[in-house]
Chain A
């Protein structure tokens, strides 16, 4: 075999080989490896469980036989003569002495003698027909199989014996053997002649005393023969793609050495073998001993034990976690099997195939730099020298690249390698760089260092949404940190307390372009979660803007000019505005600085119009707000208002940057952010802003005020406690006295903190730094200030006051059963004044809960996000505007009902446009001039005319909702003008022509709209609406999953919340989202919201409540007595009619009788006698001896009989709501039983719903369930103050319901949604999916996202949705010369 590798034939002329381009994987077929396949694939038989001989040469036919590949770097492969790096490895094989059975699963359903499926012929044919349906999906097939299994199981493992309908053989019970891997066919319980026969046959032998059992374990030969006899038709029935014999292993493929490397340790004295190799060794050993046993003994029982050992070894080789390993066989150290290599986070699927290690990356600590643009990132020179970009030499860059080459890899603008056109790679490490630089030719590729303006991807983990990885332009800077503008902290959720971030350098022009266009910071200013702006000014920028725009900041010409030059490094053209104060001295205000910032010179055509209510807005007076809290920009001039977070910060839809972004473009907004960052960083450096101890010292008045409030609160609490002790406390609905007391005291104490916070905000000097920060929204809340200065407030643990850690008290410092504020964790001191020992202890209790919550939450939400992503990852918008998954299934016909992009929505609640603001802008930017205003009726006419010009039908791309809202808005405009004219006492319609009246003029100025303005308005509306359509190919599924998953991490684990009524709790937060997404069958707080038919009457509401609520006999009975007379014994139940009347129930003895008969107590009609309307007598039956016991047991059971209401309902609460100053009532029902509640008299079933999705699905249907999912997610998110575009929730709900049943986003649900094996394997239960796929012979078309990533193929989403296809038909024939006049 020592032949050299074959030399390829040398031709003088290269033979023609058709270039078919790179091959692509289209699909993967899973199947079972048969015995002959293994023989064919193998190069060598392995039967010796040894590694190396004394010369460190691997043994022939050993586990490291060199024919399976080189065992280490120093040797070569004996099969292909490749080196360690070249040889792909070759298989070996290993023959087992006895068979190994892979799966016992199918054994269960066989008839044990004739190998047919244990079904009746009729059933069998029916199932087969279903299975053979060509249009059926694999998923459906497995479901049918499951059904069939159930059917068979009922027959085979049932207690009774089954007689085969074909051959008459009686099957025993087939069950899993205990202790060993195997299956028992137990026929011992079958009564037939065979056992008797056997007994009589062996009765004369000596062992007759021993229990006589048929050998119960099905041995491999038997199984093999069973399988062999199976009909092909039955295979099909069992969804087997191949013959079942393949499930029985006769030989094992020994994997090549490449996947089980052998490493020398201890300087080459010993070798360290891979787990797989060691497992194989054990198999060989077990095999050898079994072989010996087989050859020595004839007794099958002994070899059976050896076989079980082998079976176990092979099982562990595949899956080392297999159950039922006997103790003596467990290895000393855990050796992992193949399944362990594949599964889990670090396994092959998730660790190596779905996510890979990459080159051209960097990671280091981050720090802020306001002098950088928001699109830039500063990269240390050190990093820039290591990271390279392959730039192709061209006419334009040859000189630059020559210099780089000359500099070499160590001097900064240098290069590392040159790649010639003929493919040679030249390193620049050595000294011939100068020559290489001179030799540089066009077309060479130089791996040069990173330089300014290069494109890098910047990322911070955890990457919860797509803005966690964005594309920046590099700026090479000295020092050692990655730096970026603080405005970009938000999307990454980064701070600078030691965070590190990652950086990747795309290596091709294509990748660079895509990164810049799709992931550029400028193109991701808004979050697709709800369209709010995410990249915006933060922290110090807000503080300085707030201080600059104070009403009383004035600058003289010198300082104003200086600050103007701050914002553009003095390089921008600035037109100085006229000073606000001209006399006595020329002074500019801070607000004028913002005018300059928005529009530095007169030629810039940015006209910003917006109005925002800031935090300190006094709620009246609009622009004239005394606190200057109403921000109004008109044509890029700041009219009034002190800027804060609402205007400049993130999470806003009509802030300054949002408006700039929508009305102009991303560049305008980004430029503004850059200017503000520079301005405020420099300004605040000069101005100075810090915090000291005097900032948190309370003044005298504040102290007095605070102690007064606390005393007052304590007094109230004492009163409450006293009245509680006396039992005089007025109970709240649905609460007992202790709960009421708790609720009221908590209310009082929370109120103390709030009022002290308010006092703080009022009393502090305006120059107080914490106050400034909280007012402008840059950091801190009034509560934080109050905690530092005045009062820390009530500490809570689990949503309650501090619990009792000792007997009846929280700490031994307090008397028992003390309920005073102090004893239950109220901290009256401030952080400044210092906490007492007990206060400190309570504070740490609260603090710990917070810490634990965060730790638990991250794991929970992380898993939730992962599941959401896996379920939604392949949904995308197609060119026909439908939302489909990878296999082409339609999930939505139009995305979100209108096909709009959620990241571009301007209005509140996800509507495309904010008409009010748009009209304001149109009015401001196109002044009426000479044109007359239109009259109200003209407005309507014009609008109809104007709109009819555009195609506003759904086909033209306008949703009905949009059309309606637009026309409604224009009507409102006309109404407004009408009102104004009425107020000015003008005629309704008439607009005077020449002799223009003053009033007419005024009316026009107030709310007039000219026809031109109206035209421009409708034009902008329509054209902008069209631009907001979602693009085809958008991976809307992934975006939706992130949009729902990401807010989860911010949700505090606060679970409970009052649903309108005190004492009625609803689960909220992450647990609730989890319930909804999992489509849980049992939820923790099911609540039915029922609308009453008569909803303004408390009395009728009470009646309905009584009907719904569960009432047991014990509650309405005055007495349940045993009456024993001399002649008979009975139980007499007397109803408490007054009580029944009072609670508006209609119960009488007759009804009670019926209910008792319906209940579980076994009584018959004749045993119950109705004495009168309020009394009934129950005479038990039975014999006299047990009578006494029976009476007593009846007496105990009777009070629990439900006489009224629904059994599943815990309780019902009447909820009072106010609507249009009218009191309305509805019913909140705790518990399930929607159908029963809907059917209850007095309840409007059409308007009754539940928060239990599965129940809604059952009772009302799948569409209702979809609606319910949307509403519940929306409600949960809203109660945590989070707004998420409804389109994301719609998509999730649609995905969960589009199969016709509610599928949870769990491993069971996802399994039913997707049909890709690889995708499922990379999610959960890796091995199970792979095994099933090969048994079923599944075919995985590589179309989904996960599969494409695993196979390394571009996916059919986003820019991958389009394929360029060349038309190959002949070009159209052109005719020359003149056209003939006559055809």
Chain B
């Protein structure tokens, strides 16, 4: 079984905090239940609608291959068994920034871009930034619970 980098259940707090700017994409704000993380995520709501109050499980993984072989970054024809089978919404992207958030507690922000759809994960350094490094290829896997 492939090892995932991060797993948690989030609850959607707000949708489009700055107003709706795009027709098919919304920015959701979600808070994790276990690890006290705060997340902003752009989701294609046209094909995967999310509403305030909904809970979903989010997993971050570095590869979808079940045997754990690393991802090449280029397209492979689908149809194989993969980690994605168990999830409803899967995106592929790249970790591009780790920075320290301002505030009294030490928090770390981690930014991932799924080809323009951004994710910002804010949390404790130990949980958020432990296994991650810059330019890492990441898959986000989401399943509503």
Query: In this complex, what residue of A is CB-closest to B120?
Result: A624
**Chain A min CB distance to B28 (Å):** 13
Decide if B113 is an interface residue (CB 8 Å cutoff): yes
Of the candidate stretches B7-15, B30-38, B50-58, B96-104, the one touching chain A is B96-104
Decide if A735 is an interface residue (CB 8 Å cutoff): no
Contact B100 A983 (CB under 8 A): yes
Which of A550, A580, A924, A980 interacts with B115 by CB under 8 Å? A580
**Chain B min CB distance to A563 (Å):** 14
- Which chain B residues lie closer than 8 Å to A578 at the CB level? 71-76, 92
Distance of A581 Cα from B93 Cα, bound (Å):
9
- Which chain B residues lie closer than 8 Å to A584 at the CB level? 47-48, 88-89
- Which chain A residues lie closer than 8 Å to B90 at the CB level? 581-583
Contact B111 A623 (CB under 8 A): yes
**Chain B min CB distance to A591 (Å):** 4
Decide if B59 is an interface residue (CB 8 Å cutoff): no
For window 613-628 of chain A, which residues contact chain B by CB distance below 8 Å? 618, 623-624, 626-628
- Which chain B residues lie closer than 8 Å to A984 at the CB level? 100, 106, 125
Contact B130 A998 (CB under 8 A): yes
Interface of A is mostly: mixed
Which of A580, A632, A985 interacts with B91 by CB under 8 Å? A580
Query: In this complex, what residue of A is CB-closest to B24?
Result: A552
Contact B84 A1005 (CB under 8 A): no
Of the candidate stretches A635-643, A814-822, A1247-1255, A1349-1357, the one touching chain B is A635-643
Distance of A505 Cα from B113 Cα, bound (Å):
51
For window 13-34 of chain B, which residues contact chain A by CB distance below 8 Å? 17-19, 21-25, 27
Query: In this complex, what residue of B is CB-closest to A618?
Result: B18
Decide if A927 is an interface residue (CB 8 Å cutoff): yes
Query: In this complex, what residue of B is CB-closest to A557?
Result: B75
Contact A980 B100 (CB under 8 A): yes
- Which chain A residues lie closer than 8 Å to B84 at the CB level? 582-583
A552-B24, A579-B92, A581-B91 as given contacts; A998 in contact with B126, CB under 8 Å: yes
Contact A639 B113 (CB under 8 A): yes
Query: In this complex, what residue of A is CB-closest to B89?
Result: A583
Query: In this complex, what residue of B is CB-closest to A593?
Result: B115
**Chain B min CB distance to A981 (Å):** 10
- Which chain A residues lie closer than 8 Å to B100 at the CB level? 980, 983-984, 1002, 1006
Contact B74 A577 (CB under 8 A): yes
Contact A581 B64 (CB under 8 A): no
- Which chain B residues lie closer than 8 Å to A595 at the CB level? 115
Question: Number of A residues whose C-beta is below 8 Å from B?
Answer: 51
Decide if B134 is an interface residue (CB 8 Å cutoff): yes
Distance of A576 Cα from B92 Cα, bound (Å):
14
Q: Which of B84, B99, B115, B126 has the most CB of A within 10 A?
A: B115
- Which chain A residues lie closer than 8 Å to B118 at the CB level? 623-624, 639-640
**Chain B min CB distance to A1008 (Å):** 10
Q: Write the A631-661 contact mask toward B (1 if CB under 8 angstroms, else 0).
A: 0101101111000000000000000000000
Decide if A575 is an interface residue (CB 8 Å cutoff): yes
Decide if B70 is an interface residue (CB 8 Å cutoff): no
Distance of A999 Cα from B107 Cα, bound (Å):
11
Contact B115 A589 (CB under 8 A): yes
A624-B40, A624-B111 as given contacts; A576 in contact with B74, CB under 8 Å: yes
A586-B78, A1006-B100 as given contacts; A580 in contact with B129, CB under 8 Å: no
Q: Which of A582, A588, A927, A1006 has the most CB of B within 10 A?
A: A582
Distance of A42 Cα from B126 Cα, bound (Å):
105
**Chain B min CB distance to A882 (Å):** 48
Decide if A1001 is an interface residue (CB 8 Å cutoff): yes
Contact A583 B135 (CB under 8 A): no
Decide if B133 is an interface residue (CB 8 Å cutoff): yes
Decide if A78 is an interface residue (CB 8 Å cutoff): no
A640-B113, A980-B100 as given contacts; A579 in contact with B130, CB under 8 Å: no
Q: Write the A1056-1087 contact mask toward B (1 if CB under 8 angstroms, else 0).
A: 00000000000000000000000000000000
Which of A575, A581, A588, A639 interacts with B96 by CB under 8 Å? A639
- Which chain A residues lie closer than 8 Å to B113 at the CB level? 623, 637, 639-640
Distance of A624 Cα from B99 Cα, bound (Å):
13
* Interchain residue pairs with CB less than 8 A apart (24): A551-B21, A552-B25, A575-B74, A576-B74, A577-B73, A577-B74, A578-B72, A582-B84, A582-B139, A583-B84, A583-B88, A584-B48, A585-B47, A586-B78, A618-B18, A626-B17, A626-B27, A634-B96, A635-B135, A637-B113, A927-B134, A983-B100, A1002-B129, A1005-B134
A residues lining the B interface (CB < 8 Å): 549-552, 554, 575-592, 595, 602, 618, 623-624, 626-628, 632, 634-635, 637-640, 766, 924, 927, 980, 983-985, 998-999, 1001-1002, 1005-1006
Given contacts A575-B74, A638-B115, A985-B106, 17 further A-B contacts (CB under 8 A): A551-B25, A552-B44, A577-B73, A577-B115, A580-B92, A586-B78, A589-B116, A595-B115, A623-B118, A624-B111, A626-B18, A634-B96, A639-B118, A640-B116, A1001-B129, A1002-B100, A1005-B133
B residues lining the A interface (CB < 8 Å): 17-19, 21-25, 27, 40, 42, 44, 46-48, 64, 71-76, 78, 84, 87-94, 96-100, 106, 108, 111, 113-118, 120, 125-126, 129-130, 132-135, 139
